[in-house]
Amino acid sequence: MKKNVRVRFAPAPTGMMHLGNVRTALMNYLFARQYNGSFILRIEDTDSQRNFDPEATHIIKDLDWLNISFDEGPNKGGPYGPYFQSKRMAIYEEKRADLEKKGLIYRCFCSTEELEKKRQRQRMLKQPPRYDRTCTRLSADEIVNLLQKKIPFVWRFKLDHNASVTITDLAHGNVTFELKNFSDFPITRQDGSFTFIFANFVDDAAMHITHVFRGEDHLSNTANQAALYQASNLELPIFWHMPILCSIEGKKLSKRDFGFSLRDLKDAGFVPEAIDNYLSIIGGSYSEEIMPMPKLIENINFKNIQTTGQIKYDVEKLRWINHKWIVQYEPEQLTQACKPFLQAAYSNAAHVDDATLTTILQIIKTDLVTLADSVQVLRFYFQTPQISHDRLRSCTSEGHAPAIAQFVRDGLADINNHDLFVDHLKIESKKQNIPLKETFCFVRMALMGNAKGPSIHDLLAILGTDKAKQRLEKIVR
């Protein structure tokens, strides 16, 4: 392992973190913490068309919500800033000028249309689509003439097609790329901005990044970055090209898949601990699956990473983990997490004090898979159910409803004592040979409008004696 581990998460400020982003950030963070290294946040904002979150406000908030803290980055600083690529143009230009001086790059004046025609012709001839180096044959006078005419151009890096580059990957081991199989690639765009491949290389080198974790889909372009390191006589970082998240059906996740974006999961009531937990263990095998961040840092094994191109994202497994975390939440923590969902659904929820809400949520928390489930589970508390006699009778058989209604009415005098009231229901049901489940179903329907739900004891505790008595009186009078 390299000394002074330094890893980075370098998202584009698109304004939406998807699960692939989250997992990349998380793995970098866990690795840095496991090896007492540094985790850097760097924003890839050189492509102005994608900058929907210019100050990376949403990205930073999302990382904070996920309890993923960075050591260097926007608003925090560090020795190798600035941490927005758009503010590092002078650094890229200095490196570009150095490559020009060494004769390692050249201007390419070919238009997008010309390049596409060449690619189509190469495909027709069953040749690999690759830039044919037309612009390397331009004379100095021709270049001057094109510049005077203000013909747009990009700078291309000239690969040594007689050479190869080798990277070390935590999953794949040593991977060698023969550069004859790759095309000279642009390091700038026509507007003068710098490409993802070039800016990342410059920043990773300048920031002394020791390990680069990113998606498997970036493996092929790693050859180009490795060529830049080699041409600059710089030591390559160690890579891990992580498996792509796909659906249960094996298709790459898209915006149409639930949970593709972090916003989907937050809005649906998934908690950050569960998301971190699930994305850390996905694709692996652990005897203990529910782990807080300190245990994840300790237990994720980066020394024995399996080689696989994709791993399946199972929403049901995430739901199971989310449920386990909700049950583990401290009482006040669960209350604060559920309040936004309840207050958005019910206008009267804001008037319920935290102590009361905490008591209620502790009773029903085992019924919650997500925080949003509290809205449906507690609907009966915030909205008085409208119960028809037909629905009440549907809980019973053989005309038992009038008898149940009668002994429920008789027991209301003792409802202040919940135990006494429930015991009365049990005694009368047995005396009149009525199945207890029918009696409880009848009472539960009257209290909450549903045949299934919390126990009668719990319902009385949640509603309180007065509210419960009012609802039962309305039904049995």
CATH assignment of the domain containing 205: 3.40.50.620
Count CA atoms closer than 13 A to 73's CA, side-chain side: 23
For residues 370 and 431, membership in a common domain is answered with no
pLDDT band (50, 70, 90) for residue 265: very high
| For residues 309-317, average pLDDT | 88
Cα dist. 79→7, 194, 375 in Å?
14, 23, 48
For residues 177 and 123, membership in a common domain is answered with yes
Structure tokens, 197? 């491949």
Model pLDDT, residue 47: 72
- Report the C-alpha gap between 241 and 171 in whole angstroms: 7
What is the separation, in whole angstroms, between the first and last Cα of the chain?
A: 77
Per-residue pLDDT reduced to its tens digit, 428-446: 999 999 999 999 999 999 9
Given the DSSP bridges, would you call strands 105-108 and 154-157 parallel, antiparallel or unpaired?
A: antiparallel
Cα dist. 148→187, 189, 216 in Å?
22, 19, 43
Cα dist. 463→185, 356, 457, 468 in Å?
68, 10, 10, 6
Residue 136 within any structural domain of the chain: yes
Model pLDDT, residue 306: 75
Residue 25 within any structural domain of the chain: no
Model pLDDT, residue 14: 79
For residue 51, pLDDT beyond 70: no
For residues 335 and 400, membership in a common domain is answered with no
Count CA atoms closer than 13 A to 115's CA, side-chain side: 15
For residues 227 and 333, membership in a common domain is answered with no
Cα dist. 11→53, 124, 278, 427 in Å?
11, 37, 21, 66
Q: What percent of the chain has pLDDT over 70?
A: 98
Average pLDDT, the chain: 93
Alpha-helical regions (H) of 126-185: 140-148
For residues 344 and 233, membership in a common domain is answered with no
- Report the C-alpha gap between 59 and 40 in whole angstroms: 13
For residue 158, pLDDT beyond 60: yes
- Domains held by the chain: number: 3
For residue 1, pLDDT beyond 60: no
For residues 438 and 404, membership in a common domain is answered with yes
Structure tokens, 410? 């008789």
Query: In CATH, what number is assigned to the domain containing residue 431?
Result: 1.10.10.350
Q: When comparing pLDDT for 393 and 272, which is higher?
A: 272
Q: Are 325 and 270 in contact (CB under 8 A)?
A: no
- Report the C-alpha gap between 322 and 320 in whole angstroms: 5
Lowest mean pLDDT among 17-26, 180-189, 289-298, 309-318: 309-318
Structure tokens, 32? 């840095």
Model pLDDT, residue 285: 85
Phi-psi region of 176 (alpha: psi -120 to 50; beta: other; left: phi over 0): beta
Residue 70 within any structural domain of the chain: no
For residues 348 and 399, membership in a common domain is answered with no
Model pLDDT, residue 466: 94
Model pLDDT, residue 391: 79
Structure tokens, 381? 């508390």
| For residues 252-261, average pLDDT | 80
Per-residue pLDDT reduced to its tens digit, 323-337: 999 999 999 999 999
Q: What percent of the chain has pLDDT over 90?
A: 79
Given the DSSP bridges, would you call strands 238-242 and 211-215 parallel, antiparallel or unpaired?
A: parallel
Cα dist. 322→189, 256, 299, 325, 330 in Å?
44, 22, 20, 5, 14
For residues 372 and 391, membership in a common domain is answered with no
For residues 403 and 430, membership in a common domain is answered with yes
For residue 87, pLDDT beyond 70: yes
Per-residue pLDDT reduced to its tens digit, 334-367: 999 999 999 999 999 999 999 999 999 999 999 9
Residues 6+ apart with CB under 8 A from 204: 8, 212, 225, 237
For residues 353 and 423, membership in a common domain is answered with no
| Cβ neighbour number for residue 202 with a 10 Å cutoff | 22
Interior angle at CA 7, CA 27 and CA 67, nearest 5: 50
| For residues 5-13, average pLDDT | 95
* Residue range of the domain that includes 454: 384-477
Interior angle at CA 51, CA 50 and CA 52, nearest 5: 105
Model pLDDT, residue 397: 81
For residue 414, pLDDT beyond 80: yes
For residues 347 and 442, membership in a common domain is answered with no
pLDDT band (50, 70, 90) for residue 390: confident
Q: When comparing pLDDT for 95 and 49, which is higher?
A: 95
pTM score, two decimals? 0.92
- Report the C-alpha gap between 307 and 297 in whole angstroms: 21
- Report the C-alpha gap between 220 and 213 in whole angstroms: 14
Amino acid identity at 284: G
| For residues 296-322, average pLDDT | 90
Cα dist. 332→291, 335, 359 in Å?
21, 5, 10
For residue 2, pLDDT beyond 70: no
Interior angle at CA 247, CA 242 and CA 248, nearest 5: 115
| For residues 443-453, average pLDDT | 91
Model pLDDT, residue 154: 98
Model pLDDT, residue 399: 80
For residue 137, pLDDT beyond 80: yes
Model pLDDT, residue 55: 83
What phi, psi does 466 have (nearest 5°)?
Answer: -65, -50
| For residues 210-227, average pLDDT | 93
Residue 477 within any structural domain of the chain: yes
- Report the C-alpha gap between 90 and 88 in whole angstroms: 6
Model pLDDT, residue 133: 95
Residue 146 within any structural domain of the chain: yes
Structure tokens, 279? 């994305």
For residue 378, pLDDT beyond 80: yes
For residue 249, pLDDT beyond 70: yes
Structure tokens, 23? 């997992």
For residues 448 and 352, membership in a common domain is answered with no
